[in-house]
């Protein structure tokens, strides 16, 4: 009898527990190593539905052609083992998919690491939460990120859920983030933003001596999703989306300037590409630094080094002693999955290990009867 119970416990221990978006992040999910916040790999069910253009393909060919991150042989094994299913059922590798069918892909998920700064709470009210978002951390689940997000970290470490981000900040941007604590409050904020009643203010560290007089940039922004960057267009208003940003110099040492940025519209990379447009790109923004300014800005001062040493002081709620303690106590081995194409590494394949954070920081949002602020980061105080 005792032997039978032991066998049952062994079988139970071998069972894989699959997670879905309904599984909340927990503090134990994170591993802190070398100044980075990693996520312990976990089993996850990705779900999508067959698009019309996929119909008629075999299940293996569909994955091999549409999801090129893994080799063809992996998808063959995944279908045979049931890690890829159609409408909840195992199918042969020759199965032809049909429109609207549900496809499940059960994977051993590895998330990219982010900088190990904490997400600092600035103000907590019954229906609004404001935090200082550290650079490198996305706001909400997207792409490869699920638990390594502001929303995920706040839920895991502060038991704050549900949260509704009122606006977004690019992953590499730090600063003020407003989150509503219920859907009705989120709708109020969004209505005010859509009505043009909310003013946004950022601070940036740029190349060169910025002009003393206010600079107003009216240049359409054209975003290229394939390249992941924007360009500007002023000669043909039919191209791109209308965009306007006002810039005012705060200080300058002749080499760099600290600039106040007030975007009137909200386009992808608007502030970054508008600063490039007027010849003063963000000093560590390698995506928008032109060839003739890289030498003036760089000389070893990369974005990841800058962020590691001088991000928003409030964002570093994990002080050095606490962080070292986390790193000492978080080096347990994680489960290696024999089918996983990322194991035995902790980080996913394709991650180059050089996280970047921009010298661009959101510090104030103002709306009808309210203002929320976030302190300046260190890099904005030393020029």
Per residue, what are the HEC states of 145-175? ECCCCHHHHHHHHHCCCCCEECCCCCCCCEE
Q: How far apart are CA 173 and CA 135, in angstroms?
A: 5
Beta bridge pairs of residue 251: 258
Q: What is the DSSP string of 203-248?
A: EEEEES---SS-EEEE-EEEEETTTTEEEEE-S-TTSSB--EEEEE
Q: Tell which residue, 106, 98, 61, has the closest CA to residue 81.
A: 106
Q: From the candidates 29, 127, 170, 311, which is the catalytic residue?
A: 170
Q: Is 170 a catalytic residue?
A: yes
Which positions ≥6 away from 205 have C-beta within 8 Å?
A: 256, 257, 258, 259, 282, 283, 284, 359, 379, 380, 383
In degrees, to the nearest 5, what angle opens at C-alpha 145 toward C-alphas 36 and 86? 140
Asked if 334 contacts 346 with a C-beta cutoff of 8 angstroms, the reply is: yes
Spatial distance between the Cα atoms of 322 and 371, rounded to a whole number of angstroms: 32
Q: What angle do CA 30, 32, 382 make, to 5 degrees?
A: 120
- By 3-state DSSP, what share of the chain in percent is helix, strand and coil, each rounded to 5? 25, 30, 45
- Cis omega before residue 162 (within 30°)? yes
Active site residues: 170
């Amino acid at each position: 009898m005792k032997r039978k119970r032991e066998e049952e416990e062994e079988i139970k221990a071998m069972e894989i527990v699959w997670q879905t978006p309904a599984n909340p992040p927990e503090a134990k999910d994170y591993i802190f190593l070398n100044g980075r916040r990693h996520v312990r790999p976990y089993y996850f069910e990705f779900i999508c539905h067959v698009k019309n253009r996929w119909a008629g393909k075999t299940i293996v060919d569909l994955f091999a052609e549409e999801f090129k991150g893994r080799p063809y042989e992996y998808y063959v094994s995944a279908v045979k083992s049931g890690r890829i299913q159609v409408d909840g059922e195992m199918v042969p590798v020759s199965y032809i998919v049909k429109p609207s069918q549900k496809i499940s892909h059960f994977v051993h998920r590895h998330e990219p690491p982010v900088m190990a700064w904490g997400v600092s709470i600035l103000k907590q009210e019954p229906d609004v939460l404001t935090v200082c978002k550290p650079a490198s951390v996305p706001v909400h689940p997207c792409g490869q990120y699920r638990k390594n997000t502001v929303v995920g970290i706040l839920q895991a470490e502060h038991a704050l859920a549900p949260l509704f981000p009122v606006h977004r900040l690019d992953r590499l941007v730090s600063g003020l983030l407003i989150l509503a604590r219920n859907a009705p409050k989120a709708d109020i904020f969004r209505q005010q933003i859509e009505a043009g009643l909310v003013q946004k203010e950022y601070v940036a560290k740029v190349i060169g001596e910025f002009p003393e007089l206010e600079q107003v940039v009216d240049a359409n922004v054209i975003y290229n999703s394939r390249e992941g960057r924007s360009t500007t267009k002023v000669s043909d208003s039919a191209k791109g989306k209308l965009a306007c940003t006002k810039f005012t110099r705060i200080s300058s040492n002749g080499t760099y300037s600290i600039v106040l940025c007030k975007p009137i519209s909200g386009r992808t990379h608007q502030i970054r590409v508008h600063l490039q447009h007027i010849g003063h790109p963000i000093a560590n923004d390698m995506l928008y630094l032109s060839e003739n300014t890289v030498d003036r800005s760089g000389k070893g001062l990369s974005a990841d080094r800058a962020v590691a040493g001088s991000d928003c002081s409030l964002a570093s709620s994990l002080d050095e002693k606490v962080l070292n303690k986390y790193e000492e106590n978080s080096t347990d081995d994680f489960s290696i999955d024999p089918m996983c194409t990322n194991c035995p590494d902790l980080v996913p394949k394709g991650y180059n290990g050089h996280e970047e954070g921009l010298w661009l920081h959101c510090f104030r949002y103002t709306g009808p009867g309210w203002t929320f602020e976030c302190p300046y980061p260190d890099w904005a105080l030393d020029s």
